[in-house]
């Protein structure tokens, strides 16, 4: 008679079933097959619970965090186990699809479908009922308020990335020459605005630019407070066309300089000091060393930072919406798009503005991709 210890399905080291035994494989297969639909059901149930207004918000947040970390990990683990049960030839082909598949599905549902739907409704009237062809685009390109939005957006994209990168590069170059502890403090001060949202920064600067007409109390805005203290008349900063656009641009520059500085500072530290020292020995000044050695060595990083800030600038609407609401000639494409969609419910015009914004971003993305390809070829 065969004793339990000599059974082929008994593992003496783990006191359980042998992982290679048919029984263990059947058990693993059953668990895996049940785990995937169970996890999907749990996700669907969690989505429904998140829509239930009777459930406390804290509980909803806890469920979201739990599923976002442990749930996703468990789903990928179950799918990986399911692939492992396939024949080796199929498993090799299926495993990449299993791990990339959820991301592709998410992109399709949350990016490709909305983009396609937006393009389609841009050819319909404002109620999305009647096909009007290119009438929405014709309206945008011929009416003054939309033309002003396009012109302002172009000005933003020309000014904000250039100034953000220039100031960030200059600051990064200067702090690179400081002692480590002083450098850290100096960088932190410039990087702090990055922790503030666009809306939060707009509220801060709204108090900086705040103006009260005569007879409505003291000037509580910082800039006008300084002017009044100096004996000058207060200024309604956000009504000063076209300079009010510059005042709004400065807020985004203030936010993006820290980002530019951090990235460019890391790139500067990667420049070989031997090259810089050799140029100084040859008689080059600090400016010549910076212009002929440092800048060419970090050119690819400068392009990446510029394109990133440019894309952010194209999409900005928070600052304009909070500060002026697009009044006094400060409208931009993104702000008009949100306004048309959610305030005026003119879906055709709003979708056309979204498509124009998407087309405007494409050249920047092409520059970025080509730069990455050039870097890969150099490696």
Distance of alpha carbon 274 from alpha carbon 254, whole angstroms: 34
For the stretch 251-293, pLDDT in tens is: 999 999 999 999 999 999 888 888 888 888 888 888 888 888 8
Residues 208 and 201: beta-carbon distance below 8 Å? no
Per-residue model confidence (pLDDT) at position 184: 86
Residues 54-63 have a mean pLDDT of 74
Mean pLDDT of 242-247: 92
Looking at residue 17, its pLDDT comes to 44
- pLDDT > 90: what percent of the chain? 36
Mean pLDDT within 90-111: 80
Q: Which residue has the higher pLDDT, 111 or 5?
A: 111
Give the model confidence (pLDDT) of 127-147 as tens digits: 888 999 999 999 999 999 999
Q: How confident is the model at residue 7 (pLDDT cuts 50, 70, 90)?
A: very low
Identify the pLDDT of residue 378: 65
Q: What is the mean pLDDT of the chain?
A: 83
> Which of 44-58, 72-86, 330-344 is least confident?
44-58
* pLDDT tier for residue 87 given thresholds of 50, 70 and 90: confident
Q: Which helix (H) or strand (E) holds 10?
A: strand 10-11
Query: Measured between alpha carbons, how far is 136 from 351 in angstroms, rounded to an integer?
Result: 9
Which of 224 and 28 is assigned the larger pLDDT?
Answer: 224
User: Is pLDDT above 90 for 247?
Assistant: yes
Residue pair 136/351 in contact (Cβ under 8 Å)? The answer is yes
- pTM, two decimals, is 0.76
For 307-336, the pLDDT digits (tens) are: 999 999 998 989 999 999 888 889 999 999
Angle made by CA atoms 370, 375, 377, in degrees to the nearest 5 = 95
pLDDT value at residue 4: 45
* Separation of alpha carbons 330 and 153, rounded Å: 9
Which 3 state secondary structure label does DSSP give 11?
Answer: strand
Rounded mean pLDDT, 57-78: 74
325 closest CA partner among 267, 264, 238: 238
Q: Which residue has the tokens 């804290």?
A: 58
pLDDT at 218 over 70: yes
Q: Are 85 and 25 in contact (CB under 8 A)?
A: yes
Q: Name the residue among 234, 230, 243, 199 with its Cα closest to residue 215.
A: 234
Q: For residue range 25-46, list pLDDT tens digits in order.
A: 565 666 566 666 776 666 666 6
Q: How do residues 155-167 score in pLDDT, each as one tens digit?
A: 999 999 999 999 9
CA distance 241 to 148: 12
pLDDT number for residue 52: 64
Domains plus CATH for the chain? 4-121 (no CATH), 135-378 (1.10.3720.10)
Is the predicted pLDDT of residue 174 greater than 70, yes or no?
Answer: yes
pLDDT for position 126: 87
Q: Which residues pair with 11 in a beta bridge?
A: 16
Q: Is the dihedral of CA 276, 282, 285, 287 positive or negative?
A: negative
* pLDDT bucket at 13, cuts 50 / 70 / 90: very low
| Tokens, residue 86 | 């396939």
pLDDT at 2 over 50: no
């Amino acid at each position: 008679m065969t004793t339990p210890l000599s059974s082929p399905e008994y593992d003496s080291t783990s006191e359980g079933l042998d992982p290679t035994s048919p029984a263990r494989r059947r058990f693993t297969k059953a668990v895996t097959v049940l785990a995937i639909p169970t996890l999907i059901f749990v996700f669907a149930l969690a989505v429904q619970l998140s829509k239930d207004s009777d459930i406390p918000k804290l509980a909803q947040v806890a469920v979201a965090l739990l599923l976002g970390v442990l749930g996703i990990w468990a789903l990928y683990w179950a799918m990986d186990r399911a692939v492992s049960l396939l024949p080796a030839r199929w498993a090799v082909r299926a495993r990449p699809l299993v791990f990339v598949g959820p991301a592709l599905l998410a992109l399709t549902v949350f990016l490709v479908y909305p983009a396609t739907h937006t393009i389609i409704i841009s050819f319909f009237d404002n109620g999305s009922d009647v096909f009007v062809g290119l009438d929405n685009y014709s309206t945008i390109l011929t009416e003054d308020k939309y033309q002003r939005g396009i012109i302002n957006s172009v000005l933003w994209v020309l000014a904000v990335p250039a100034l953000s990168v220039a100031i960030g590069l200059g600051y990064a170059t200067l702090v690179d020459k400081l002692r480590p502890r002083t450098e850290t403090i100096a960088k932190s001060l410039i990087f702090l605005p990055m922790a503030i949202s666009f809306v939060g920064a707009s509220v801060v600067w709204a108090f900086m630019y705040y103006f009260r007409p005569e007879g409505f109390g003291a000037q509580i805005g910082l800039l006008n407070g300084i002017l009044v203290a100096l004996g000058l008349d207060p200024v309604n900063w956000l009504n000063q066309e076209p300079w009010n656009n510059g005042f709004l641009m400065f807020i985004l520059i203030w936010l993006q300089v820290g980002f530019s500085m951090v990235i460019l500072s890391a790139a500067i530290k990667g420049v070989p000091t031997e090259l810089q020292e050799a140029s100084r020995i040859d008689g080059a000044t600090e400016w010549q060393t910076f212009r002929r050695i440092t800048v060419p060595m970090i050119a690819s990083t400068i392009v990446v930072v510029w394109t990133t800030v440019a894309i952010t600038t194209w999409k900005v609407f928070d600052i304009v919406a909070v500060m002026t609401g697009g009044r006094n000639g400060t409208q931009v494409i993104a702000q008009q798009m949100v306004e048309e969609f959610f305030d005026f419910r003119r879906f055709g015009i709003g979708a056309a503005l979204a498509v124009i914004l998407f087309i405007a971003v494409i050249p920047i993305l092409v520059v970025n991709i080509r730069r990455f390809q050039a870097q890969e070829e150099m490696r």
